[in-house]
Amino acid sequence: MDDEPTVVRRPPLPELPLAAPLLTEAALEGTTLGHLRLDARLDRGASSDLYQGHNVLARKPCLVKVFRPALCANRVRWGRFVHESKTVAALRLPGVADVFDHQIIEGNGLVVMAPSQGNSLRELLKTSGPLSRRAFVPVIRAIGLALAQAHAAGIAHRRLHPGQVVVRWAGSEPIVQLLDFGVHHLHPPLTDEAAAPTAEQALWFAPEQIKGEPGDLRSDVYALGALLFRMITGRPPFVGESTRAVLDQHLSEPPPPPSRFAATPPEMEETVLRALEKDARKRTPSVEAMLAAIDPSSITGQHLLVRTSPKGLSPSPSREIVLASVGPAPVAVDAPAAKDADTAKDLRLPRQRRWLYVVAGVVVVLCLAVLAYVLLGDRAERAPAKPAPTKPAPRVTPPSRPGQPSRRPARSSAEPRVAATARPV
């Protein structure tokens, strides 16, 4: 009896009551939930809707994310989501939307965020086919920078898709904000029959997540690779008749080369295919490495510390890998937003000629070194040669012959004379 393990059974936590939405989803525009008024709907997804809202009490505009009541029913999952969302908000990352409040009003989960003049990337991609390099490279670079900053803090998104990205334009540079960090806590594992994703959500899942693993920063690399595939070709990497068919393709079938659907440079195609590797160990290790392959000119001398486990499967403080960071995208506060996706097609990637400055600096240093060598050589040739110091020859006394008196050197007049000493008698 003493060897039997003690099992402590705890009663399950009560779940929040499932409540239907107050009104139909089409009628939520113009309604008020608590002190939040929902105005125009900016985006509609499988698990939530994004509204342009207004805080009636504070009299300030805001963004309001309204989750489906089924996702907010479990109190534990909602608490985990709120905790991670607040953790990311405390980091004050420029590429992550500022979250002000989390509420559940009559079964509807609400997340209040800072206002934005941008549009959902999902809506922009719906109206556009393949994008040119000058259009998608700045967007991918901005999304990758936001992910890299979160990864450096040990936090992965795990549910990245176009509906989680809000884009606005500052001239020719996009400014992105990522939404819903921690939302993966609201969804049960994909192996659960009750957690069947929609066809839209299935387009961006990494193979390890489909197998039931929680995912990590390399899952974000996979989702970013699938998003890059969509921008280059105008279609996702895997398309099927059903959600299950798409998930099976993510697990077993190799991704098609992007050059099959659109003109793609070989190095770009290699970058996309490596980001879509089935085995996470063979996949591009970080979004920084992926961005370096897409746009080497975006690399700077900065570094980020990415915390990973020894296997690299999930962020943890057990190991630190120093990875190169990408240059931050410029931020403009009063920049106007692009009204449609056609504006993105006309964008031009600014030319960055940092390598020219490096080459010019090296040439200047070499010229200065050669000039200094020539000047020092001329000065050494013109300087008069100093005569070598000579020593006086030693005075040699010739030896005396026998029977001849020895010749002594003449006494100098300056030498003192010594008086002769009287001899004793």
Q: What are the residue ranges spanned by the domains of the chain?
A: 118-348
Closest Cα partner for 150 from 96, 204, 187, 206? 96
- Residue 318 pLDDT: 30
Angle formed by the axes of helices 217-233 and 266-275, nearest 10°: 140
- Residue 401 pLDDT: 59
Q: 406-424 pLDDT, tens per residue?
A: 555 555 555 555 444 545 5
- Residue 376 pLDDT: 82
Angle formed by the axes of helices 133-152 and 217-233, nearest 10°: 170
DSSP 96: B
Q: Show the tokens assigned to 417.
A: 């004379």
118-348 classified as CATH 3.20.20.70: no
Whether 344 has a pLDDT exceeding 90, the answer reads: no
Mean pLDDT confidence for 339-350: 39
For the CA atoms of 22, 78, 187, 45, the dihedral, rounded to the nearest 10 degrees, stands at: 40
CA angle (51, 341, 44) in 5-degree steps: 25
- Structure-model confidence comparison of residues 23 and 212, the more confident one: 212
Whether 143 has a pLDDT exceeding 90, the answer reads: yes
Q: What is the mean pLDDT of the chain?
A: 75
Identify the three-state secondary structure at position 397: coil
Cα 211 from Cα 87, distance rounded (Å): 27
Closest Cα partner for 200 from 282, 123, 277? 123
Cα 156 from Cα 263, distance rounded (Å): 32
Cα 290 from Cα 306, distance rounded (Å): 15
Q: 320-340 pLDDT, tens per residue?
A: 333 333 333 333 333 333 344
The phi, psi pair for 52, rounded to 5°, reads -80, 115
For the CA atoms of 68, 70, 73, 79, the dihedral, rounded to the nearest 10 degrees, stands at: -60
Mean pLDDT confidence for 13-32: 48
DSSP 351: P
Burial of 421 (0-12, 13-18, 19+ CB in 10 A): exposed
Mean pLDDT confidence for 55-74: 89
What is the C-alpha R_g of the chain?
39
Whether 375 has a pLDDT exceeding 80, the answer reads: yes
Q: Show the tokens assigned to 251.
A: 């697990």
- Residue 391 pLDDT: 62
CB of 179 closer than 8 Å to CB of 192: no
* Contact partners, residue 108, CB within 8 Å, separation at least 6: 19, 21, 22, 33, 66, 67, 69, 72
